Structure 1
Amino acid sequence: MAWMAWTWPTAVFFGVIAALLITFTILAIRFPETPRTGVLGIETTRGDRLFITLLGAAFINLAWLGLTDAAQWWGLGLSLVYGAAVFRFV
């Protein structure tokens, strides 16, 4: 994998995504759930909400990079708040 520019932040990013997928798989096996309907009016499961959160967080961070000069940590914080709201209300 020498062709890729692996850095510690990149490795941590992919490690966190892998850990989330493993955790949600274990949760789905141990605690099956029925889909629920939230503010979007569609039925979602934990996995659906995780996907919506990851997709939204990507757009939030890209917008943060393109539109502000503030530290990226603020974009991460906003993404965490967004994720909590998705898991609570969607």
Structure 2
Amino acid sequence: MAWMAWTIPTAIFFGSIAALLIIFTVLAIRYPETPRTGVLGIETTRGDRLFITLLGSAFINLAWLGLVDAPQPWAMLVCLVYAAAVFRWV
């Protein structure tokens, strides 16, 4: 895999995504849930909300890179607030 130029931040990023998927799979098996309807008006499960969070976080980071002069780690704080809001109200 030398062609991919793996760096520590890249490995941490993909490792975090893999860990999230494993954790949510275990949670779904151990604690099944019924879908709930939130502010979007659609039924969502934990996995759906995780997907919405990851997709939204990607767009937040892209917008941060293009529109904001602040350091990129601050975007992670915005993403954490966004994730909390999604898991609470969506």
TM-score (norm 2): 0.99
Counterpart for residue 47 of structure 1: 47
Fraction of identical pairs, as percent: 81
Counterpart for residue 86 of structure 2: 86
Q: What is the rounded CA distance, in whole Å, between the counterparts of 2:81 and 2:26 in structure 1?
A: 24
Q: What is the rounded CA distance, in whole Å, between the counterparts of 1:72 and 1:78 in structure 2?
A: 10
Deviation at 1:54, TM superposition (A): 0.1
Query: Please, which runs of 5 or more residues in structure 1 have no aligned partner?
Result: none
Q: What is the rounded CA distance, in whole Å, between the counterparts of 2:70 and 2:55 in structure 1?
A: 21
Query: Please, which runs of 5 or more residues in structure 2 have no aligned partner?
Result: none
Large movers: runs of 4+ above 3 Å: none
Counterpart for residue 68 of structure 1: 68
Aligned to 1:41, the other structure's residue is in SS state coil
Deviation at 1:73, TM superposition (A): 1.2
Letter of the structure 2 residue corresponding to residue 59 of structure 1: F
Q: What is the rounded CA distance, in whole Å, between the counterparts of 1:68 and 1:88 in structure 2?
A: 27
RMSD of the TM alignment (CA)? 0.4
Counterpart for residue 16 of structure 2: 16
TM-score (norm 1): 0.99
Letter of the structure 2 residue corresponding to residue 22 of structure 1: I
Letter of the structure 1 residue corresponding to residue 88 of structure 2: R
Q: What is the rounded CA distance, in whole Å, between the counterparts of 1:86 and 1:80 in structure 2?
A: 10
